[in-house]
A and B are shown apart, each in its own frame.
Chain A
Amino acid sequence: MAVLSALPPLAMQAGANRVVQGIRIEHVCGDPSQPPVLDRQLRRQLVERALHALQTPVSGPTLFTVER
Protein backbone atom coordinates (compact mmCIF):
# COMPACT_ATOMS: atom_id res chain seq x y z
CA MET A 1 0.00 0.00 0.00
CA ALA A 2 1.16 3.52 -0.72
CA VAL A 3 -0.26 6.45 1.25
CA LEU A 4 -0.76 9.79 -0.50
CA SER A 5 -0.73 12.42 2.24
CA ALA A 6 -0.23 16.16 2.63
CA LEU A 7 1.24 15.43 6.07
CA PRO A 8 3.85 12.70 5.65
CA PRO A 9 5.24 13.04 9.19
CA LEU A 10 1.86 12.01 10.55
CA ALA A 11 1.50 9.06 8.17
CA MET A 12 5.06 7.91 8.77
CA GLN A 13 4.75 8.19 12.51
CA ALA A 14 1.62 6.05 12.34
CA GLY A 15 3.69 3.35 10.61
CA ALA A 16 2.99 3.88 6.89
CA ASN A 17 6.02 2.57 5.01
CA ARG A 18 5.41 4.05 1.56
CA VAL A 19 4.29 7.67 1.74
CA VAL A 20 3.96 10.04 -1.18
CA GLN A 21 3.97 13.77 -0.43
CA GLY A 22 0.59 15.17 -1.49
CA ILE A 23 -0.18 18.82 -2.20
CA ARG A 24 -2.44 20.18 0.55
CA ILE A 25 -4.89 18.66 3.00
CA GLU A 26 -7.86 20.09 1.08
CA HIS A 27 -6.60 18.80 -2.27
CA VAL A 28 -4.06 16.06 -1.70
CA CYS A 29 -4.06 14.89 -5.33
CA GLY A 30 -3.93 18.08 -7.33
CA ASP A 31 -4.07 21.86 -7.38
CA PRO A 32 -7.37 23.52 -8.25
CA SER A 33 -5.67 26.91 -8.41
CA GLN A 34 -3.94 25.71 -11.57
CA PRO A 35 -5.60 25.42 -14.99
CA PRO A 36 -7.46 22.07 -15.21
CA VAL A 37 -4.96 20.52 -17.59
CA LEU A 38 -2.07 21.20 -15.15
CA ASP A 39 -4.12 20.02 -12.18
CA ARG A 40 -4.84 16.73 -13.97
CA GLN A 41 -1.20 16.36 -14.97
CA LEU A 42 -0.15 16.84 -11.34
CA ARG A 43 -2.71 14.29 -10.21
CA ARG A 44 -1.40 11.78 -12.69
CA GLN A 45 2.17 12.36 -11.52
CA LEU A 46 1.13 11.80 -7.91
CA VAL A 47 -0.68 8.55 -8.67
CA GLU A 48 2.27 7.41 -10.78
CA ARG A 49 4.57 8.13 -7.87
CA ALA A 50 2.33 6.10 -5.60
CA LEU A 51 2.46 3.19 -8.05
CA HIS A 52 6.25 3.57 -8.23
CA ALA A 53 6.36 3.40 -4.42
CA LEU A 54 4.37 0.16 -4.54
CA GLN A 55 7.08 -1.37 -6.72
CA THR A 56 9.93 -0.14 -4.48
CA PRO A 57 11.24 -2.40 -1.71
CA VAL A 58 11.43 -0.46 1.57
CA SER A 59 12.61 -1.36 5.06
CA GLY A 60 10.74 1.27 7.02
CA PRO A 61 8.74 4.49 6.57
CA THR A 62 9.96 6.00 3.31
CA LEU A 63 8.98 9.30 1.71
CA PHE A 64 8.44 9.64 -2.05
CA THR A 65 8.03 13.04 -3.65
CA VAL A 66 7.05 14.49 -6.99
CA GLU A 67 9.12 17.30 -8.48
CA ARG A 68 6.96 20.33 -9.33
Chain B
Amino acid sequence: MELVLASFPVTGLAFGPAGAWADGRLVVDRERVQSLVLEDPRIRSVAVDLVEPGESTRLIQMRDVIEPRIKVRGRGHVYPGVAGHPTDTVGDGETRRLAGFAAMICSEVPPHVRRAVSAATDSIVDMSGPGAVTVYSTLRYVVLTIETAEGLELTEWNETLQGAGHRVAEDLARLVATLPPPEQRRFALDPGDDVRPVDATAPPSLPRVVHVHTLNASMVPGIGTGIYGYTPHALPVLLHPNEILDGAIAGDAVVGYPGKCTWLHVNNPVLPALYACHGRDVRWLGSIVSRTRWGGLAEKQRSAYQTAKLAAMLGAQGALVTWNHGGNDLIEVMLTIQELERAGIKTVFLTIESDIKVVRLVPALAETGVDEPPLLFSVPEANAIVSTGTLAPADSLPAMARVIGGREVVFDQECPESRTPAAGPLDLEALSGAYSPIFGHFDNYGLGNQSYLDY
Protein backbone atom coordinates (compact mmCIF):
# COMPACT_ATOMS: atom_id res chain seq x y z
CA MET B 1 0.00 0.00 0.00
CA GLU B 2 1.30 3.40 -0.92
CA LEU B 3 -0.03 6.74 0.27
CA VAL B 4 1.05 10.13 -0.95
CA LEU B 5 0.45 12.73 1.74
CA ALA B 6 0.40 16.26 0.36
CA SER B 7 0.77 18.99 2.95
CA PHE B 8 -0.42 22.56 2.67
CA PRO B 9 1.10 24.47 5.58
CA VAL B 10 -1.04 27.16 7.18
CA THR B 11 1.07 30.09 8.36
CA GLY B 12 -1.57 32.80 8.46
CA LEU B 13 -5.31 32.97 9.05
CA ALA B 14 -8.03 35.47 8.22
CA PHE B 15 -11.76 35.67 7.66
CA GLY B 16 -12.87 36.60 4.17
CA PRO B 17 -15.85 36.40 1.82
CA ALA B 18 -14.56 33.28 0.07
CA GLY B 19 -12.51 30.45 1.55
CA ALA B 20 -9.10 29.92 -0.07
CA TRP B 21 -5.54 28.79 0.63
CA ALA B 22 -2.61 30.54 -1.03
CA ASP B 23 1.08 30.47 -0.02
CA GLY B 24 0.28 29.43 3.51
CA ARG B 25 -2.45 31.94 4.07
CA LEU B 26 -5.85 30.41 4.80
CA VAL B 27 -8.93 32.57 4.34
CA VAL B 28 -11.99 31.24 6.14
CA ASP B 29 -15.53 32.06 5.03
CA ARG B 30 -17.12 32.51 8.43
CA GLU B 31 -20.74 32.42 7.25
CA ARG B 32 -20.14 29.25 5.30
CA VAL B 33 -18.61 27.57 8.35
CA GLN B 34 -21.55 28.69 10.49
CA SER B 35 -24.13 27.35 8.09
CA LEU B 36 -22.29 24.05 7.75
CA VAL B 37 -22.37 23.60 11.51
CA LEU B 38 -26.01 24.68 11.76
CA GLU B 39 -27.05 22.08 9.17
CA ASP B 40 -27.66 19.85 12.16
CA PRO B 41 -30.88 20.92 13.89
CA ARG B 42 -29.50 19.55 17.16
CA ILE B 43 -27.16 22.54 17.20
CA ARG B 44 -28.67 25.75 18.56
CA SER B 45 -25.85 28.14 17.86
CA VAL B 46 -22.20 28.35 16.94
CA ALA B 47 -19.50 30.96 17.29
CA VAL B 48 -16.59 30.77 14.86
CA ASP B 49 -13.21 32.21 15.81
CA LEU B 50 -9.71 32.12 14.38
CA VAL B 51 -6.80 31.64 16.77
CA GLU B 52 -3.06 31.73 16.22
CA PRO B 53 -0.06 30.87 18.42
CA GLY B 54 1.45 33.66 20.46
CA GLU B 55 -1.86 35.39 21.08
CA SER B 56 -3.06 36.23 24.55
CA THR B 57 -5.85 33.73 24.08
CA ARG B 58 -7.09 30.92 26.25
CA LEU B 59 -9.12 28.16 24.61
CA ILE B 60 -11.41 26.21 26.88
CA GLN B 61 -13.89 23.33 26.86
CA MET B 62 -12.33 21.68 23.83
CA ARG B 63 -13.86 18.35 22.97
CA ASP B 64 -11.65 17.37 20.03
CA VAL B 65 -9.16 18.76 17.52
CA ILE B 66 -9.41 17.60 13.90
CA GLU B 67 -6.83 18.12 11.17
CA PRO B 68 -8.55 18.95 7.86
CA ARG B 69 -7.75 16.18 5.39
CA ILE B 70 -9.28 15.03 2.14
CA LYS B 71 -8.67 12.03 -0.04
CA VAL B 72 -8.27 13.01 -3.69
CA ARG B 73 -7.24 9.64 -5.06
CA GLY B 74 -7.63 6.09 -3.83
CA ARG B 75 -10.12 4.14 -1.90
CA GLY B 76 -12.36 5.43 0.86
CA HIS B 77 -12.82 8.59 2.88
CA VAL B 78 -10.48 10.05 5.49
CA TYR B 79 -11.63 9.50 9.07
CA PRO B 80 -13.58 6.44 7.91
CA GLY B 81 -16.52 5.27 9.98
CA VAL B 82 -17.06 8.51 11.92
CA ALA B 83 -19.46 11.34 11.14
CA GLY B 84 -21.26 9.11 8.67
CA HIS B 85 -18.16 8.52 6.54
CA PRO B 86 -18.03 5.16 4.75
CA THR B 87 -15.93 2.40 6.27
CA ASP B 88 -13.96 1.48 3.15
CA THR B 89 -10.36 0.60 3.95
CA VAL B 90 -8.12 3.63 3.57
CA GLY B 91 -4.38 4.19 3.26
CA ASP B 92 -3.64 4.33 -0.45
CA GLY B 93 -3.79 6.91 -3.20
CA GLU B 94 -3.37 10.55 -2.27
CA THR B 95 -4.54 12.48 0.74
CA ARG B 96 -4.16 16.19 1.25
CA ARG B 97 -3.90 18.00 4.54
CA LEU B 98 -3.79 21.49 5.96
CA ALA B 99 -0.71 21.31 8.17
CA GLY B 100 -0.23 23.25 11.37
CA PHE B 101 -3.95 23.95 11.44
CA ALA B 102 -7.03 22.30 12.86
CA ALA B 103 -10.73 22.60 13.53
CA MET B 104 -11.32 22.67 17.25
CA ILE B 105 -14.74 21.70 18.66
CA CYS B 106 -15.60 23.45 21.93
CA SER B 107 -18.80 22.86 23.82
CA GLU B 108 -19.87 22.92 27.42
CA VAL B 109 -20.33 19.45 28.90
CA PRO B 110 -23.98 19.04 29.96
CA PRO B 111 -24.43 17.96 33.61
CA HIS B 112 -25.86 14.55 32.71
CA VAL B 113 -22.84 13.80 30.52
CA ARG B 114 -20.45 14.90 33.24
CA ARG B 115 -22.18 12.53 35.68
CA ALA B 116 -22.15 9.60 33.27
CA VAL B 117 -18.59 10.00 32.03
CA SER B 118 -16.02 11.07 34.57
CA ALA B 119 -13.52 11.42 31.71
CA ALA B 120 -15.63 14.18 30.12
CA THR B 121 -13.48 16.84 31.69
CA ASP B 122 -12.81 20.49 30.89
CA SER B 123 -9.42 21.40 29.46
CA ILE B 124 -7.56 24.53 28.47
CA VAL B 125 -5.02 25.54 25.84
CA ASP B 126 -3.09 28.75 26.41
CA MET B 127 -1.71 30.13 23.17
CA SER B 128 1.07 32.02 24.93
CA GLY B 129 2.70 32.36 28.32
CA PRO B 130 3.77 29.69 30.82
CA GLY B 131 0.77 27.49 29.97
CA ALA B 132 1.78 27.12 26.32
CA VAL B 133 3.61 23.86 26.91
CA THR B 134 1.95 21.45 24.49
CA VAL B 135 1.85 21.02 20.74
CA TYR B 136 -1.68 22.40 20.82
CA SER B 137 -0.29 25.83 21.68
CA THR B 138 1.63 25.80 18.40
CA LEU B 139 -1.25 25.15 15.99
CA ARG B 140 -3.60 27.55 14.25
CA TYR B 141 -7.30 26.95 14.71
CA VAL B 142 -10.78 27.62 13.50
CA VAL B 143 -12.61 27.22 16.77
CA LEU B 144 -16.26 26.17 16.72
CA THR B 145 -17.93 27.02 20.00
CA ILE B 146 -21.10 25.01 19.77
CA GLU B 147 -24.26 25.17 21.83
CA THR B 148 -26.26 22.00 21.39
CA ALA B 149 -29.97 21.50 21.97
CA GLU B 150 -30.77 20.60 25.56
CA GLY B 151 -31.24 17.06 26.73
CA LEU B 152 -29.31 15.28 23.98
CA GLU B 153 -28.50 11.78 25.11
CA LEU B 154 -24.79 11.02 25.44
CA THR B 155 -24.13 9.29 22.11
CA GLU B 156 -26.27 11.84 20.27
CA TRP B 157 -24.39 14.72 21.85
CA ASN B 158 -21.15 13.05 20.77
CA GLU B 159 -22.41 12.50 17.23
CA THR B 160 -23.66 16.05 16.93
CA LEU B 161 -20.34 17.59 17.90
CA GLN B 162 -18.22 15.11 15.95
CA GLY B 163 -20.36 15.62 12.86
CA ALA B 164 -19.99 19.39 13.02
CA GLY B 165 -16.24 19.24 13.46
CA HIS B 166 -15.73 16.83 10.59
CA ARG B 167 -18.08 18.74 8.23
CA VAL B 168 -16.05 21.90 8.73
CA ALA B 169 -12.69 20.13 8.58
CA GLU B 170 -13.58 18.44 5.29
CA ASP B 171 -14.92 21.63 3.74
CA LEU B 172 -11.70 23.43 4.54
CA ALA B 173 -9.56 20.58 3.24
CA ARG B 174 -11.51 20.74 -0.01
CA LEU B 175 -9.98 24.17 -0.59
CA VAL B 176 -6.67 22.50 -1.46
CA ALA B 177 -8.03 19.47 -3.31
CA THR B 178 -6.91 20.67 -6.74
CA LEU B 179 -3.97 22.97 -5.94
CA PRO B 180 -0.34 22.02 -6.58
CA PRO B 181 1.02 20.80 -3.23
CA PRO B 182 4.07 22.58 -1.79
CA GLU B 183 5.17 19.41 0.05
CA GLN B 184 4.60 15.73 -0.57
CA ARG B 185 5.67 12.59 1.21
CA ARG B 186 5.31 9.05 0.06
CA PHE B 187 4.54 6.33 2.58
CA ALA B 188 4.98 2.84 1.15
CA LEU B 189 4.92 -0.41 3.04
CA ASP B 190 4.36 -3.87 1.68
CA PRO B 191 4.97 -6.21 4.61
CA GLY B 192 3.60 -9.22 2.72
CA ASP B 193 6.67 -9.45 0.49
CA ASP B 194 9.15 -9.93 3.26
CA VAL B 195 7.49 -12.05 5.88
CA ARG B 196 8.53 -15.25 4.13
CA PRO B 197 11.98 -14.81 2.59
CA VAL B 198 12.47 -16.76 -0.64
CA ASP B 199 15.48 -18.62 0.73
CA ALA B 200 14.28 -19.97 4.07
CA THR B 201 17.81 -20.72 5.26
CA ALA B 202 19.12 -17.22 4.68
CA PRO B 203 18.73 -14.84 7.61
CA PRO B 204 16.58 -11.89 6.66
CA SER B 205 18.74 -8.88 6.15
CA LEU B 206 16.69 -6.53 8.30
CA PRO B 207 15.03 -7.30 11.61
CA ARG B 208 11.23 -7.36 11.37
CA VAL B 209 9.28 -5.09 13.69
CA VAL B 210 5.68 -4.46 14.61
CA HIS B 211 4.23 -1.31 16.07
CA VAL B 212 1.96 -2.31 18.96
CA HIS B 213 -0.37 0.66 19.20
CA THR B 214 -2.48 -0.06 22.29
CA LEU B 215 -5.58 2.08 22.41
CA ASN B 216 -7.87 2.83 25.31
CA ALA B 217 -11.50 1.87 24.85
CA SER B 218 -14.15 3.57 26.90
CA MET B 219 -15.78 1.68 29.72
CA VAL B 220 -18.93 3.66 28.93
CA PRO B 221 -20.64 2.11 25.89
CA GLY B 222 -20.96 4.05 22.63
CA ILE B 223 -18.19 6.62 23.04
CA GLY B 224 -14.42 6.88 23.07
CA THR B 225 -11.65 6.50 20.53
CA GLY B 226 -12.58 4.29 17.61
CA ILE B 227 -11.02 2.25 14.78
CA TYR B 228 -13.06 2.88 11.62
CA GLY B 229 -15.62 4.20 14.06
CA TYR B 230 -15.66 0.99 16.07
CA THR B 231 -15.34 2.03 19.70
CA PRO B 232 -16.01 -1.02 21.93
CA HIS B 233 -13.38 -3.28 23.47
CA ALA B 234 -12.37 -5.92 20.93
CA LEU B 235 -9.59 -8.39 20.15
CA PRO B 236 -6.48 -6.89 18.49
CA VAL B 237 -6.56 -5.92 14.84
CA LEU B 238 -3.74 -5.44 12.33
CA LEU B 239 -3.67 -2.06 10.60
CA HIS B 240 -1.41 -0.77 7.88
CA PRO B 241 0.21 2.44 9.20
CA ASN B 242 -1.27 4.32 6.25
CA GLU B 243 -4.72 3.54 7.60
CA ILE B 244 -3.76 5.45 10.75
CA LEU B 245 -2.35 8.28 8.61
CA ASP B 246 -5.71 8.43 6.85
CA GLY B 247 -7.62 8.78 10.11
CA ALA B 248 -8.72 5.19 10.76
CA ILE B 249 -8.13 5.89 14.45
CA ALA B 250 -10.15 8.87 15.58
CA GLY B 251 -11.27 10.33 18.87
CA ASP B 252 -14.75 11.23 20.04
CA ALA B 253 -16.10 14.50 21.40
CA VAL B 254 -16.67 13.25 24.93
CA VAL B 255 -13.57 12.06 26.74
CA GLY B 256 -10.90 14.58 27.60
CA TYR B 257 -7.66 12.69 28.13
CA PRO B 258 -4.71 13.67 25.94
CA GLY B 259 -4.39 10.41 24.03
CA LYS B 260 -7.89 10.62 22.55
CA CYS B 261 -7.27 13.55 20.27
CA THR B 262 -8.05 12.95 16.58
CA TRP B 263 -5.32 15.39 15.52
CA LEU B 264 -2.78 13.41 17.49
CA HIS B 265 -3.59 10.10 15.84
CA VAL B 266 -2.94 11.29 12.28
CA ASN B 267 0.13 13.19 13.51
CA ASN B 268 1.49 10.31 15.61
CA PRO B 269 5.28 10.80 15.39
CA VAL B 270 5.94 7.08 15.82
CA LEU B 271 4.62 6.54 12.29
CA PRO B 272 7.11 8.78 10.44
CA ALA B 273 9.89 7.62 12.81
CA LEU B 274 9.29 3.98 11.89
CA TYR B 275 8.90 4.88 8.24
CA ALA B 276 12.26 6.68 8.32
CA CYS B 277 13.81 3.46 9.59
CA HIS B 278 11.90 1.05 7.37
CA GLY B 279 14.00 -0.52 4.67
CA ARG B 280 17.13 0.92 6.27
CA ASP B 281 17.41 -0.52 9.80
CA VAL B 282 14.22 -2.54 10.11
CA ARG B 283 11.50 -4.10 8.08
CA TRP B 284 8.23 -2.76 9.43
CA LEU B 285 5.40 -5.25 9.27
CA GLY B 286 2.51 -3.11 10.41
CA SER B 287 0.62 -1.75 13.40
CA ILE B 288 -1.26 -4.02 15.78
CA VAL B 289 -3.97 -2.09 17.59
CA SER B 290 -5.01 -3.67 20.90
CA ARG B 291 -7.73 -2.13 23.06
CA THR B 292 -6.97 -1.41 26.68
CA ARG B 293 -8.87 -0.91 29.91
CA TRP B 294 -10.53 -4.28 29.92
CA GLY B 295 -12.46 -4.84 33.12
CA GLY B 296 -10.99 -8.13 34.32
CA LEU B 297 -7.62 -9.81 34.51
CA ALA B 298 -8.61 -12.69 32.23
CA GLU B 299 -9.64 -10.23 29.53
CA LYS B 300 -6.45 -8.23 29.92
CA GLN B 301 -4.44 -11.43 29.61
CA ARG B 302 -6.42 -12.52 26.58
CA SER B 303 -5.60 -9.25 24.83
CA ALA B 304 -1.92 -9.72 25.67
CA TYR B 305 -1.92 -13.32 24.43
CA GLN B 306 -3.66 -12.47 21.17
CA THR B 307 -1.42 -9.45 20.49
CA ALA B 308 1.74 -11.49 21.00
CA LYS B 309 0.37 -14.30 18.85
CA LEU B 310 -0.49 -11.94 16.03
CA ALA B 311 3.00 -10.42 16.20
CA ALA B 312 4.59 -13.88 16.19
CA MET B 313 2.48 -15.05 13.24
CA LEU B 314 3.70 -12.01 11.31
CA GLY B 315 7.27 -13.04 12.05
CA ALA B 316 8.07 -10.02 14.23
CA GLN B 317 11.44 -9.94 15.94
CA GLY B 318 10.92 -6.59 17.60
CA ALA B 319 8.00 -4.47 18.79
CA LEU B 320 7.59 -0.80 19.61
CA VAL B 321 4.81 -0.61 22.19
CA THR B 322 2.88 2.55 23.00
CA TRP B 323 -0.25 3.37 24.98
CA ASN B 324 -2.55 6.36 25.10
CA HIS B 325 -4.09 6.54 28.54
CA GLY B 326 -3.21 5.99 32.21
CA GLY B 327 -4.16 3.93 35.21
CA ASN B 328 -5.13 0.31 34.93
CA ASP B 329 -4.64 0.28 31.12
CA LEU B 330 -0.97 -0.13 32.01
CA ILE B 331 -1.62 -3.63 33.30
CA GLU B 332 -2.57 -5.12 29.95
CA VAL B 333 0.11 -3.04 28.23
CA MET B 334 2.76 -4.52 30.53
CA LEU B 335 1.27 -8.02 30.20
CA THR B 336 1.47 -7.54 26.44
CA ILE B 337 5.13 -6.57 26.70
CA GLN B 338 5.71 -9.63 28.84
CA GLU B 339 4.01 -11.96 26.34
CA LEU B 340 5.88 -10.42 23.41
CA GLU B 341 9.22 -10.90 25.17
CA ARG B 342 8.28 -14.46 26.14
CA ALA B 343 7.58 -15.11 22.45
CA GLY B 344 11.12 -13.95 21.71
CA ILE B 345 10.07 -10.56 20.39
CA LYS B 346 12.28 -7.74 21.71
CA THR B 347 10.26 -4.80 22.95
CA VAL B 348 10.72 -1.10 23.54
CA PHE B 349 8.05 0.70 25.51
CA LEU B 350 7.37 4.38 24.78
CA THR B 351 5.49 5.87 27.69
CA ILE B 352 4.59 8.89 29.75
CA GLU B 353 6.21 9.04 33.16
CA SER B 354 3.67 8.21 35.80
CA ASP B 355 0.19 9.54 35.64
CA ILE B 356 0.22 11.55 38.84
CA LYS B 357 -1.24 14.95 38.31
CA VAL B 358 1.49 17.50 37.60
CA VAL B 359 0.20 21.02 37.19
CA ARG B 360 3.37 22.83 37.94
CA LEU B 361 6.83 21.65 36.97
CA VAL B 362 8.42 22.05 40.38
CA PRO B 363 10.27 19.24 42.22
CA ALA B 364 7.69 19.03 45.01
CA LEU B 365 4.94 18.19 42.53
CA ALA B 366 6.80 16.71 39.60
CA GLU B 367 9.36 14.36 41.14
CA THR B 368 9.06 10.64 40.64
CA GLY B 369 11.32 7.87 41.88
CA VAL B 370 11.30 5.70 44.95
CA ASP B 371 8.61 7.76 46.68
CA GLU B 372 6.43 8.07 43.60
CA PRO B 373 7.11 5.19 41.20
CA PRO B 374 7.37 6.34 37.59
CA LEU B 375 5.15 3.45 36.54
CA LEU B 376 2.13 2.11 38.40
CA PHE B 377 2.86 -1.45 37.31
CA SER B 378 5.68 -3.17 35.51
CA VAL B 379 7.02 -6.54 34.49
CA PRO B 380 10.69 -7.59 34.69
CA GLU B 381 10.72 -8.03 30.90
CA ALA B 382 10.15 -4.30 30.36
CA ASN B 383 13.85 -3.50 30.22
CA ALA B 384 13.83 -0.94 27.41
CA ILE B 385 11.69 2.05 28.16
CA VAL B 386 11.61 5.56 26.70
CA SER B 387 9.99 8.18 28.91
CA THR B 388 8.21 11.24 27.54
CA GLY B 389 7.94 12.68 31.02
CA THR B 390 5.07 15.08 31.53
CA LEU B 391 4.11 18.55 30.32
CA ALA B 392 3.18 21.28 32.77
CA PRO B 393 3.71 25.02 33.15
CA ALA B 394 6.57 26.20 35.32
CA ASP B 395 4.48 29.04 36.68
CA SER B 396 0.95 30.01 37.53
CA LEU B 397 -1.14 30.91 34.48
CA PRO B 398 -1.65 34.63 33.87
CA ALA B 399 -4.82 36.38 32.78
CA MET B 400 -5.53 36.23 29.05
CA ALA B 401 -7.05 38.94 26.88
CA ARG B 402 -9.39 36.58 25.04
CA VAL B 403 -11.20 33.40 26.10
CA ILE B 404 -12.75 31.20 23.43
CA GLY B 405 -14.86 28.10 23.83
CA GLY B 406 -16.90 29.24 26.78
CA ARG B 407 -16.57 31.52 29.79
CA GLU B 408 -15.95 29.28 32.77
CA VAL B 409 -14.09 26.09 33.50
CA VAL B 410 -15.02 23.26 35.82
CA PHE B 411 -11.61 22.35 37.17
CA ASP B 412 -12.77 19.72 39.62
CA GLN B 413 -15.03 17.08 38.06
CA GLU B 414 -16.12 16.17 41.60
CA CYS B 415 -17.59 19.63 42.11
CA PRO B 416 -19.21 20.61 38.81
CA GLU B 417 -21.11 23.47 40.45
CA SER B 418 -17.81 25.16 41.14
CA ARG B 419 -17.08 27.08 37.96
CA THR B 420 -14.06 29.32 37.56
CA PRO B 421 -14.02 32.25 35.17
CA ALA B 422 -11.41 31.37 32.59
CA ALA B 423 -10.03 34.80 31.71
CA GLY B 424 -8.24 35.60 34.92
CA PRO B 425 -4.97 34.32 36.37
CA LEU B 426 -5.26 30.64 37.25
CA ASP B 427 -3.45 28.91 40.08
CA LEU B 428 -3.73 25.34 38.81
CA GLU B 429 -2.34 23.88 42.02
CA ALA B 430 -5.22 25.35 43.97
CA LEU B 431 -7.91 24.87 41.34
CA SER B 432 -7.33 21.58 39.65
CA GLY B 433 -9.10 18.39 40.54
CA ALA B 434 -7.84 14.95 39.79
CA TYR B 435 -6.22 15.61 36.42
CA SER B 436 -4.16 18.38 34.92
CA PRO B 437 -6.55 20.57 32.92
CA ILE B 438 -3.94 21.37 30.26
CA PHE B 439 -5.16 19.74 27.04
CA GLY B 440 -2.51 17.35 25.81
CA HIS B 441 -0.48 17.36 29.03
CA PHE B 442 0.76 13.85 28.24
CA ASP B 443 2.97 13.48 25.18
CA ASN B 444 1.86 9.88 24.61
CA TYR B 445 3.75 9.32 21.37
CA GLY B 446 6.92 11.33 21.88
CA LEU B 447 6.43 14.50 19.84
CA GLY B 448 8.87 16.35 22.11
CA ASN B 449 12.21 15.68 23.78
CA GLN B 450 11.05 16.26 27.36
CA SER B 451 11.68 13.30 29.63
CA TYR B 452 12.73 12.52 33.17
CA LEU B 453 16.31 12.14 34.36
CA ASP B 454 17.75 10.39 37.39
CA TYR B 455 19.12 12.69 40.08
Chain A residues within 8 Å of B, Cβ to Cβ = 6-10, 13, 21, 23-26
Contact = CB atoms under 8 A, between A and B. Distances in A.
Contact of A10 (B219, B295, B296, B377): B377
Contacts of A21: 297
Interface of B: 219, 295-297, 300, 328, 331, 335, 376-378
A13 B377 contact: yes
A34 to B, nearest CB: 15
A25 B295 contact: yes
Contact of A24 (B296, B331, B376, B377): B296
A9 B376 CA distance: 12
A13 B219 CA distance: 25
A13 to B, nearest CB: 6
Given A6-B296, A6-B297, A9-B297, A25 B377 contact: no
A7 B300 CA distance: 9
A64 B90 CA distance: 48
Contacts of B295: 6, 24-26
A12 to B, nearest CB: 11
Closest 6 CB pairs of A and B: A24-B296, A24-B295, A25-B295, A7-B297, A10-B377, A6-B296
A21 B297 CA distance: 9
A21 B295 CA distance: 13
27 contacts: A6-B295, A6-B296, A6-B297, A7-B297, A7-B300, A7-B328, A7-B331, A8-B297, A9-B297, A9-B331, A9-B335, A9-B377, A10-B328, A10-B331, A10-B376, A10-B377, A13-B377, A13-B378, A21-B297, A23-B296, A24-B295, A24-B296, A25-B295, A25-B296, A25-B328, A26-B219, A26-B295
Contacts of B328: 7, 10, 25
A64 to B, nearest CB: 14
A33 B378 CA distance: 32
Nearest to A10: B377
Contacts of B300: 7
Contacts of B335: 9
A41 B455 CA distance: 52
Contacts of B377: 9-10, 13
A10 B328 CA distance: 9
A28 B295 CA distance: 10
Given A9-B377, A13-B377, A24-B296, 17 more contacts: A6-B296, A7-B297, A7-B328, A7-B331, A8-B297, A9-B297, A9-B331, A9-B335, A10-B331, A10-B376, A10-B377, A21-B297, A24-B295, A25-B295, A25-B296, A25-B328, A26-B295
